Amino acid sequence: MKYKAYKERLVKIADLGYTTAVLGWDQETYMPEKGAGFRAQQISTLSGIIHEQFTDKELGKILKKLNDSPKKLTEKEKRNVAQTLKDYKRQKKYTREFVELLSKTTSECFQAWQKARKENNFSLYAPHLTKMIALKRKEAELLGYKKHPYDALLDQYEPGARVEDLDILFKDVRSQLVAFVKKVAAAKQNDDKFMYLHYPKDKQWDFGIDLLKQMHFDFEAGRQDYSAHPFTTNFSAKDVRVTTRVSEDNFKSMIWSCIHEGGHGLYEQGLPESEYGLPSGEAVSLGIHESQSRLWENMVGRSLNYWKANIKLAQKYFPENLKNVSAEQFWKASNIVTPSFIRTEADELTYHFHILIRYEIEKALMDGSLQVKDLPAYWNAKYKEYLGVKVPNDAEGVLQDIHWSHGSIGYFPTYSLGSFYAAQFFATAKKEVKSLEKNIENGNLLPLLKWFREKIHKHGKYYSAEELCKKVTGEKLNFTYFMDYAKEKYSTIYNIK
């Protein structure tokens, strides 16, 4: 009976949360500019109500009684209660005033970021971001930490992640990946000029929809729209929204934003709908979530087998641009490794240098060694140091990402974690899914999706990221899988011995 009461309360809280998410999705897609002020107020009000509901004393009593009587619960119910109790204790550290202020600041900061990016003027964003960083520092103090204030925020996106561990991981990136990228950079570059011809927006859109359908993204339980920065959100497993961005003179941008967000969307659609509102109906962590999108985007969408299946479809949509382009040429053009200043359009190797830069910046912002006013200069210097590129302007530099305007400090490292999980999962899938690569070559992506449904999606948050990785692959996260994958693939593409 107590568990039923617990579940009923969490379902109601989820209803409120997803209602707020609908407003957030609308804010980033269709909301008129003048609606920003009231939208910030509306989301702030709902966020305050959700916080109040989740930190209600009665829910705390229910959780304590359930936690104190574990014998009456199934293993899944025990884990749900333990996870919710952890979240409850964390949320109790916030006041409603702080939650509403953070929500309002987030909406205002997002609007300022949009305007600043459009006008290429960081000064329009700086005061709002300064306020946001101050709130995130206060949040870290509220939550508590042992060694670094950044740890408190990392834990919200990747439970258990700590600066001391990520420092080691990114040290591996520097020591192993940097040397290999230099070898690739020294090799003869492949031709990708045909990717930058004129590709009409509407035809790109239709092509992207076809790619999503091939992945078995369920359009009866989801949709795609345009946004300034591609993202995925969901309001249940039966209502998942992905967005894309189309550039008529860059065919690459739309293709892999569709496939990437499609990977996120498939994960959300695969979560058990019977567990709606409960931890067992949620994704494990952002690192695991990102493993899904990066695997579909890179291990599948940037593979030779994938373009053997899809080159004729691409030629059907764009016969003039692609009539003389083979699957192998398209594949090689899809995997150009070269330093750049745009994270979302970076190749899958130098991408991790983009994440490393953001990781170092976030640590510095949180410990106070870097101030917002100095951010553009610091950003540009890091890009020169790690990628050897000169950032042309703030819109394509420090203003390119939406995350800080959302207050998502601690989010970026999950992108690299996701890529490393993806390589490890894909290596296992190739062993366990019969004729996997041949199926991809034939355009049959269902066997891989079914493997994900069984191995990852159906479990929700039953396992931690580390537990899930061990269950699926037999060992904890191992950077070697990513390096092996990178060396095998790019040594072939660039003829490196």
Tell me the pLDDT band of 389, cut-offs 50, 70 and 90: very high
132 belongs to a structural domain: no
Same-domain status, 268 and 321: yes
Q: Between the CA atoms of 158, 161, 166 and 167, what dihedral angle is there, to the nearest 10 degrees?
A: 140
The catalytic residues are 261
* Predicted pLDDT of residue 345: 80
- Give the total number of structural domains in the chain: 2
**Does 328 lie in the same domain as 280?**
yes
In one-letter notation, the amino acid at residue 451 is W
Position 174 scores a pLDDT of 86
Confidence band, pLDDT 50/70/90 cuts, at residue 55: very high
Owning domain of residue 167: 163-493
37 vs 361 pLDDT, higher one:
361
**Beta pairing, strands 239-244 & 232-236:** antiparallel
**322: exposed, middle or buried (Cβ count in 10 Å: 0-12, 13-18, 19+):** buried
Please report whether residue 146 resides in a domain: no
Question: Is residue 383 over pLDDT 80?
Answer: yes
Residue 222's DSSP bridge partners are 240
Place of tokens 């870097």: 370
Which of 291, 317, 272 lies closest to 427, judged by CA? 291
pLDDT at 1 over 80: no
pLDDT digits (tens, 9 = 90+) for 249-290: 999 999 999 999 999 999 999 999 999 999 999 999 999 999
Tell me the C-alpha to C-alpha distance, in Å, between residue 423 and each of 23, 29, 363, 410, 418: 35, 32, 27, 22, 9
What pLDDT does residue 69 have? 86
Structure tokens at 203: 């035809």
Dihedral (CA of 384, 389, 394, 395) sign: negative
**Whether residues 204 and 119 fall in one domain:** no
- If you average pLDDT over residues 124-153, what whole number do you get? 96
Q: What share of the chain is helix, strand, coil (3-state, %, to 5)?
A: 70, 5, 25
87, 171: one domain: no
Mean pLDDT of the chain: 95
Q: Are residues 322 and 422 in the same domain?
A: yes
Is the residue at 136 inside a domain? no
- Look at residue 208 and tell me whether its pLDDT is greater than 90: yes
The answer to the question of residue 144 being in a domain is no
| One domain, residues 95 and 187 | no
- Cα–Cα distance, 355 to 346 (Å, whole number): 11
pLDDT for 445? 98
Taking a C-beta distance cutoff of 8 angstroms, is the pair 240, 263 a contact? no
My answer on whether 120 and 239 are in the same domain is no
> How long, in residues, is the chain?
497
Q: Is residue 402 part of a domain?
A: yes
Query: E strands along 147-214, which residues?
Result: none
How far apart are alpha carbons 95 and 353 in whole angstroms? 37
Q: What's the pLDDT band for 206 if we cut at 50, 70, 90?
A: very high
CA dihedral of 486, 488, 490, 492, whole degrees rounded to 10: -170
- One domain for residues 397 and 263: yes
**Which residue among 74, 107, 127 closes a domain?**
127
pLDDT exceeds cutoff 90 at 418? yes
- Percent of the chain topping pLDDT 90: 88
Domain boundary among 127, 142, 175: 127
Structure tokens at 330: 């398209």
Q: Does residue 317 surpass a pLDDT of 80?
A: yes
Q: Is residue 200 part of a domain?
A: yes
> CA of 206: how far to CAs of 210, 250, 319, in Å?
6, 16, 15
Residue 152 lies in a domain: no
On whether residue 139 sits in a domain, the answer given is no
pLDDT at 374: 97
Residues 135 and 404: their CA atoms lie apart, in Å, by 12
Do 277 and 418 sit in the same domain of this protein?
Answer: yes
In this model, does residue 44 exceed pLDDT 90? no
Query: Is 272 in the same domain as 173?
Result: yes
From 102, 127, 152, give the residue that closes a domain: 127
Characterize 5-38 residue by residue with b for buried, 16 or more Cβ atoms within 10 angstroms of its Cβ, and e for exposed. ebbebbeebbebbbbbbeebbebbeebeeeebee
Using the predicted structure, report yes or no on whether residue 497 has a pLDDT greater than 90.
no
Q: Are residues 77 and 168 in the same domain?
A: no
Q: In this structure, are residues 60 and 5 in contact, taking their beta carbons and an 8 Å threshold?
A: no
Say yes or no: 276 and 396 in one domain. Answer: yes
**What's the rounded Cα separation, in Å, for the pair 331 and 23?**
39
CATH of the domain at 202: 1.10.1370.30
